[in-house]
Amino acid sequence: MSRITSVRVRDVRFPTSRQLDGSDAVNVAPDYSAAHVTVTTSDGESGQALVFTCGRGNEVVAAAIRSYGELLTGHSTDALIHDLGGASRLLVHDAQLRWLGPEKGVSHMACGALVNALWDLRARREGLPLWLLLSRMAPEELVDAVDFTHLRDTLTPQEALDLLRAGQQGREERIGLLRREGYPAYTTTPGWLGYSDEKLVRLSRQAVADGFGMIKLKVGGDPEDDRRRLRLAREAVGPDVRISVDANQRWESGEAVERVRALAEFDPWWIEEPTSTDDILGHAAIRRGVAPVKVATGEAVANRIVFKQLLAAGAIDVMQIDATRVAGVNENLANLLLAAKFEVPVCPHAGGVGLCELVQHFSFFDHAAVSGSMEGRSIEFVDHLHEHFTDPVRVVGGRYAAPEAPGIGAGMHAESLDTWEYPDGDGWQADRSGLHREGAGR
């Protein structure tokens, strides 16, 4: 019988802070990083996943994945990947480890990496990309994978089953459409806070030329800088391309309302992370204050329980799930079902390292078998670091092409893992000696 024999974790970092790629009002100089995990079985199968971080601390996530990984070692592979709900509970509800969260932060991200590696193993065995595996799983099996703990006052297993059964109608037609036409993307590439005005304008124009219907700008620094940058971007893209803005939790809730109103003349589509994503009541107040500008959040939302409340309180217009913040595919199933119940569109957070590769699957699945709609929906895209992945995203004409490679998308080239392993990979040794300062990680 196949068993889990090893959990290997690698601390991989890219020196992106050298060029301020990814810079915003809070993450001023991130080194985009991944705690990358490979779960191997006695039969030689493997599943891969990762947790994205901003650099320092990647070693802590790696340590947490190793600790949780001990709970999987020795288990039957089949038992785990054919009861992924049980596999998630084994990790998330471990009676001693649970104290570290519960269900939030480092420990939760570590659970997510291992859960995702098991999904990757399952999808590879079935020869399917994750989204297609999910789209063709029976609604009953999907519901079994969801952890309804602390959700049942808002979403019952029966309601979830009803939503998924309704999503079966027209599923194959939508799968065909997704494979032919892809799924809408928007781009954050032009809008990093560390970029010059010239670079902002040039990349904004390029985004329109590339077919994107929305760009996103980082805000939350000096108010006049925000206004100038938004004016420049609006002039560059014209009136018909949407511009969203992202404050990365920089503001107090009252301040957020004032700051967003001050940008109203440039017609922002949504304000993202106006304040702490722990602040459900704050988001609700901001949403009331900034309408018709929409409120979006999610990349830092710790778990399904916080999303449940953001939706129930009418605090968000757009749910932004993240592939590596929560406890893996299972918890994002819960998040998609919550969004479907409240009829709130999901526009996943991406960028970083591998987040585009992973998170695209949820939007494709959502369209194929849950919401069945693309209305107001798009997947974030940032053109960074894809070359390190064995199955990089393909974004053409402002749309993600349907991923067709088996798995969840976390496979990285051995050379990338070796070169950028921190602190001793060749890339980091060269960086320290000054050789790699230009073009680092590109």
Residue 286, Cα to own-chain centre: how many angstroms? 23
Q: Which of residues 409-438 bind its own copies (CB under 8 A)?
A: none
300 in contact with its own copies (CB under 8 A): yes
C-alpha to C-alpha distances, 233 to 218, 230, 267, 292, nearest whole angstrom: 11, 5, 11, 20
Structure-token pair, residue 59: 């070693």
261 in contact with its own copies (CB under 8 A): no
**Is residue 384 annotated as a catalytic residue, yes or no?**
no
Query: How are beta strands 46-53 and 33-41 bridged, if at all?
Result: antiparallel
114 in contact with its own copies (CB under 8 A): no
Q: Which of 349, 367, 384, 388 is catalytic?
A: 349
Candidates 27-35, 72-80, 366-374, 421-429: pick the segment binding its own copies (CB under 8 A): 27-35
- Name which of 143, 103, 153, 148 is nearest 312 in CA terms: 153
Q: Which of 218, 361, 367, 436 is catalytic?
A: 218
Rounded distance, CA 84 to CA 74, Å?
16
54 in contact with its own copies (CB under 8 A): yes
106 in contact with its own copies (CB under 8 A): yes
Candidate list 9, 64, 114, 214; residue touching its own copies; CB under 8 A: 64
Q: Where are the beta strands (DSSP E) in 316-441?
A: 318-319, 379-381, 395-396, 399-400
- Largest Cα–Cα distance of the chain, in whole Å? 64
Candidate list 19, 116, 188, 249; residue touching its own copies; CB under 8 A: 249
Structure-token pair, residue 35: 């705690």
Candidate list 45, 78, 83, 94; residue touching its own copies; CB under 8 A: 94
**Is residue 218 annotated as a catalytic residue, yes or no?**
yes
CA angle 413, 78, 92 (to 5 degrees): 75
What binding mask, one character per residue, do residues 150-189 give for its own copies by CB under 8 A, x or -? x-xx------------------------------------
Structure-token pair, residue 189: 């590439």
223 in contact with its own copies (CB under 8 A): no
- Name which of 390, 386, 383, 385 is nearest 412 in CA terms: 390
27 in contact with its own copies (CB under 8 A): yes
Contact footprint for its own copies (CB under 8 A): 26-31, 53-57, 59-61, 63-64, 67, 94-110, 149-150, 152-153, 249, 252-255, 275-276, 278-282, 285, 300, 302-303, 305-306, 308-309, 312-313
Indicate which residues carry an active-site annotation: 218, 349
